[in-house]
Amino acid sequence: MSIGHTPPGLLESGPRHGYDPKRAFNEKLGHDRPPHYGQVRSTMSRLLKNGPVEVDGTEAGGDPERRRYVITEAGVTDVHRWLATPEKPDLYLQSTLYTKVVLALLTHRDAAEILDTQRSEHLRMMRTLTHRKLKGDLADQLICDHALFHLEADLRWLELTAARLGKLAEAVTR
C-alpha cells in the first residue's frame, strides 16, 4: 500500500516527530496493514526532498536528534488534490479465482469443488469480520463493512459461476 499522502495529511493537525505519523497511521488507519518503519522512513525522506513536508526543528535527547516535521502549503495543496481525486475502482479482470476455475476445467479437475471451497473460505472470513465489526469502534465497523460488501459481491460471483459452470466448460474446452 502506498502511504505517500498520509503523513502530510496527518501533519495538518500539527507538527509531529519522526515516527509519530506512523503511530497515528497505525492508530487511525492501519489496524490490519500498518506500514513498516522503513516504508515510513523512505516516505518521509521523499516528502522532505519533494517539498510537501519540511523539518520545523530538532530536539536533542535521542540518537539521532529527533526531527519535528510540518506540512508545507504545497503539501496542503497536494493532500487536498489527492483527497478530491476519486480512486480508480478495482475491476478484478485478472482474478486468480477465475484463473483457477478455468484451469481446473482445462485440466479436467472439479471446478465446482474449487468454487465450494472458496465459498466456504469467504463465509468463514465474513463471520470473522462480522464478529470484529460487532466489537469494534466506528472506524473498525466501516472498514469491516467495506470488506464484507466486497466478499458479498464475490459470493454472488461464485454462485453465478457455479450456475454457469457447464457453459464455461464448453467455452474453454473448445
Which tens digit of pLDDT belongs to each residue from 120-165?
999 999 999 999 999 999 988 999 999 999 999 999 999 999 999 9
Residue 61 Cα to chain centre, angstroms: 36
Note the pTM of the prediction, 2 decimals: 0.74
**pLDDT tens-place string over residues 101-123:** 999 999 999 999 999 999 999 99
30 pLDDT higher than 70? no
- Residue 173's pLDDT band, with cuts at 50, 70 and 90, is confident
Long-range Cβ contacts of 137-144 (<8 Å, 24+ apart)? 139/28, 139/31, 140/31, 143/31, 143/32
**pLDDT tens-place string over residues 51-102:** 899 998 887 766 566 888 899 999 999 999 999 988 888 787 778 999 999 9
Lowest mean pLDDT among 11-20, 24-33, 51-60, 81-90: 24-33
Rounded CA gap, 50 and 41, in Å? 14
Helix or strand run (H / E) with residue 94: none
1 pLDDT higher than 70? no
pLDDT reported for residue 153 = 95
